């Protein structure tokens, strides 16, 4: 077989083998299906539809209920991909670490590990944070649009997976109650750590 024919055969093998390997990788790890030429783009919604909330826990007493997610405007950050690409951190402006945040955000999918949550929180410059992953879903039978919600708790010393908070359509009250419950359960199990790291009290909590 000539070198030319062998190369053409190699091309054919490559275009069959790599997408299959990519498929296995994306099913088993948090690797994005939109990356590395695995032809998996459009197999799932792109990152612009994924919402990740990094809720800073500075100044929040672990023994008290977690403030509602809705009104926590000054205390939580929504890292969201804009519809035209690029990361849109809200409500704060992009800053120097935006590249690192973007890289950590890319790895933050439903398969993300506690380590990935730790990386994300470190990139945002927070110490302790509750990380909430919200994946948009649609149930056409029930005709409802909802979020599949997963949560992680990251402190200076550890990162924990709090598990799936909502896999089926739930009300926002229910989801927030579950988040609070998961956080409270953890805080009660480890009160000294979070209490020691509690920073200055946030004025918005007084509301």
Partner 1 sequence: MRSCDPWRPFAAFMAWHLALQSTYMRWVMPGIAGIVVMAVMVALAVLTSTRRGARVGVAILLAYQLALAVARFPLTANSSYLTVLVLGVLLLLSSSSRTPRRVVLERGEELRRTVLFVLMVIYAMAGVQKLAQGYWHDGEFIVLTLLADLSFFAESMRHLLELGALLLGSAGPLVSTSGPWSLGATPLLVPDWLPAVAMGLSLSFVLAELLVPLAVLWPRTRARALAPLVVVQVGIGLSSWEIEFMSLALGCVALSTRRPRRNLAIVLAGEVVHYLLRHRLGVEI
Which of 95, 150, 148, 147 is closest to 126 using CA atoms?
A: 95
Q: Write out the binding residues for partner 1, residues 85-144 only, by CB under 8 A.
A: 132, 134, 136-138, 140-141, 143-144
Interface with partner 1 includes 29 (CB under 8 A)? Answer: no
Figure out which of the listed residues 29, 41, 65, 195 binds partner 1, where binding follows CB under 8 A.
41
- Whether 200 and 58 have beta carbons less than 8 Å apart is answered as yes
User: What is the DSSP pairing of strand 51-56 with strand 87-90?
Assistant: unpaired
Interface with partner 1 includes 80 (CB under 8 A)? Answer: yes
Nearer to partner 1, 102 or 205 (CB): 102
Report the alpha-carbon distance of residue 87 to residue 61 in Å, rounded.
31
Collapsed DSSP state (helix, strand, coil) of residue 32: coil
Nearer to partner 1, 108 or 146 (CB): 146
- Whether 116 and 34 have beta carbons less than 8 Å apart is answered as no
Nearer to partner 1, 27 or 195 (CB): 27
Nearer to partner 1, 136 or 191 (CB): 136
- Whether 58 and 128 have beta carbons less than 8 Å apart is answered as yes
Interface with partner 1 includes 21 (CB under 8 A)? Answer: no
Q: Output the smallest distance, CB 179 to partner 1, in A.
A: 9
Cα distances (angstroms) measured from residue 176 to each of 9, 21, 82, 190: 55, 38, 25, 21
Q: Is 141 left (phi over 0), alpha (psi -120 to 50) or beta?
A: alpha
Q: Write out the binding residues for partner 1, residues 145-184 only, by CB under 8 A.
A: 145-147, 149, 166, 169-176
Nearer to partner 1, 49 or 63 (CB): 49
Give residues in contact with partner 1 (CB under 8 A). 4, 7-8, 11-12, 15-16, 19-20, 23, 27, 33, 35-45, 48-49, 51, 53, 69-70, 78, 80, 83-84, 132, 134, 136-138, 140-141, 143-147, 149, 166, 169-176
């Amino acid at each position: 077989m000539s070198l030319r024919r062998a190369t053409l055969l190699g091309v054919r093998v490559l275009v069959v083998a790599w997408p299959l390997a990519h498929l296995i990788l994306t099913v088993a790890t948090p690797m994005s299906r939109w990356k590395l030429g695995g032809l998996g783009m459009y197999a799932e919604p792109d990152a612009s539809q994924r919402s990740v909330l990094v809720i800073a826990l500075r100044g929040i007493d672990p023994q008290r209920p977690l403030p509602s997610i809705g009104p926590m405007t000054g205390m939580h950050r929504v890292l969201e991909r804009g519809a035209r690409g690029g990361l849109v951190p809200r409500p704060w402006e992009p800053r120097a670490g935006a590249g690192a945040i973007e890289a950590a955000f890319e790895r933050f999918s439903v398969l993300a590990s506690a380590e990935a949550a730790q990386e994300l929180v470190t990139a945002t410059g927070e110490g302790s944070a509750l990380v909430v992953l919200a994946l948009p879903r649609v149930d056409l039978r029930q005709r409802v649009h909802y979020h599949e919600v997963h949560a992680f708790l990251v402190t200076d010393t550890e990162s924990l997976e709090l598990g799936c908070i909502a896999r089926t359509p739930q009300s926002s009250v229910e989801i927030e109650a579950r988040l609070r419950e998961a956080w409270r359960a953890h805080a009660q199990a480890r009160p000294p750590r979070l209490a020691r790291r509690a920073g200055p009290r946030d004025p918005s909590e007084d509301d």
